[in-house]
Structure 1
């Protein structure tokens, strides 16, 4: 579901109706900046400026699935998690890393892409989120350097329709 607003003035607080169920969201300009950069809530916001008019596109996606903190077994620096996530939903894994550590994330999907060549590399099926809210969608590299000590997130979502929604998520911190 999407809504558009014209001539939105960021200096004033605006109320937006979401989801047709009467849910309201009260946001000011600072909150919009947060919504645009730290997007693990399932609400996708995009902004388009044409002349003096600003259009905001808001798409709300119901959040279901896994939302869990990853803990390693004592003495281990790696873990493997098996899960399944339907198309359009997401699973969120949060973990702590210290500055300078290497974070290795690998998602392997069991299903094949529907309607495409099975050898198609395509999108990775995950989003990497740093503690400061910086987001990297569908990274092709699975190695990340922890730029600060804090909570990192991996958001797993089918990048396109697959024959099977099951995946294996391997996380290693060195």
Structure 2
């Protein structure tokens, strides 16, 4: 009888130990899954900031993109003008670097007419403005996201809305020589797009249907806006 009680006690201890081990293992698996999900969400994060500047001598648009590990990319597209002497020129800056607090530590390539310049600068990014040390840009509304194709697919579709006066910007990496086909439809026929190449060149403007042979390898921007009021649209992009 005593042996039977001892056997039952041993079985109970083993059962409790097994349950605790299973619970701990399940908890670890859940934690690992949660950590993995959090990491994946973090890896997919992209924050976009759009800024503009307009004064007597400079008209400029700046876009700053913040990605994982505080990496910074973006560009500036500007026109310098002096109406008194009839002088006009434009430049395009490509930005790469890191974000440290509010500071953007940037490596910059500036292309102005036939000249290319390399430089390093520190800019300050605030919620409402961008300070380059020479000019202060004011933030303007925009929504920035990536277009990603499903595995094995050559096209993707986005359904969204754009508010009057704002822009929705879609980033897409592609290669020189590929063909990009874009179509946008909207409930009130009031949504259009333009495509900007990696070097800042606008390949088309205010289109609803386009087919392009891409001139360079790099990041393309598809910029959607409304022609009147708010616009609800469906955007389809195909690359082959």
Range into which the TM-score falls when normalised by the shorter chain: 0.5 to 0.7
* Aligned pair partner of 2:154 in 77, 81, 104: 77
Question: Residue 109 of structure 1: CA displacement?
Answer: 1.2
Question: Residue 146 of structure 1: CA displacement?
Answer: 1.1
What is the distance in 1 between the residues matched to 2:87 and 2:209?
A: 35
Q: 1:160 to 1:125 in 2, by over 3 A?
A: same
Identify, as 1 or 2, the structure richer in helix. 2
* Aligned pair partner of 1:63 in 112, 137, 141: 141
Equivalent runs, 1:1-16 vs 2, <5 Å: 4-5=55-56
**What secondary structure sits across from 1:87 in the alignment?**
coil
What is the distance in 2 between the residues matched to 1:72 and 1:50?
A: 47
Q: 1:40 to 1:69 in 2, by over 3 A?
A: farther
- Which residue of the partner structure matches residue 117 of structure 1? none
Q: Which stretch of structure 1 is more off in the superposition, 131-140 or 153-162?
A: 131-140
CA contact (8 A) 2:169 2:223 kept: yes
Q: Which runs of 5+ in 1 are unaligned?
A: 9-31, 114-123
Q: 1:75 to 1:84 in 2, by over 3 A?
A: same
CA contact (8 A) 2:185 2:235 kept: yes
* Aligned pair partner of 2:184 in 86, 92, 107: 107
What is the distance in 2 between the residues matched to 1:111 and 1:89?
A: 17
Q: Which runs of 5+ in 2 are unaligned?
A: 1-51, 65-75, 89-136
- Which residue of the partner structure matches residue 132 of structure 2? none
Find out whether 1:126 has 2:204 as its counterpart: no
Q: 1:54 to 1:127 in 2, by over 3 A?
A: same
Aligned-residue CA RMSD (Å)? 3.3
Residue by residue over 1:135-154, the C-alpha shift from the partner in whole angstroms, topping out at 9 and shown as x without a partner, is 13224650111111111110
Decide which structure has the larger Cα Rg and report it.
2
* Aligned pair partner of 1:41 in 63, 68, 82: 63
Q: 1:133 to 1:46 in 2, by over 3 A?
A: closer
- Which residue of the partner structure matches residue 14 of structure 2? none
- Which residue of the partner structure matches residue 156 of structure 1? 224
Identify, as 1 or 2, the structure richer in strand. 2
Q: Which has the higher contact order (CA 8 A, sep 6+)?
A: 1
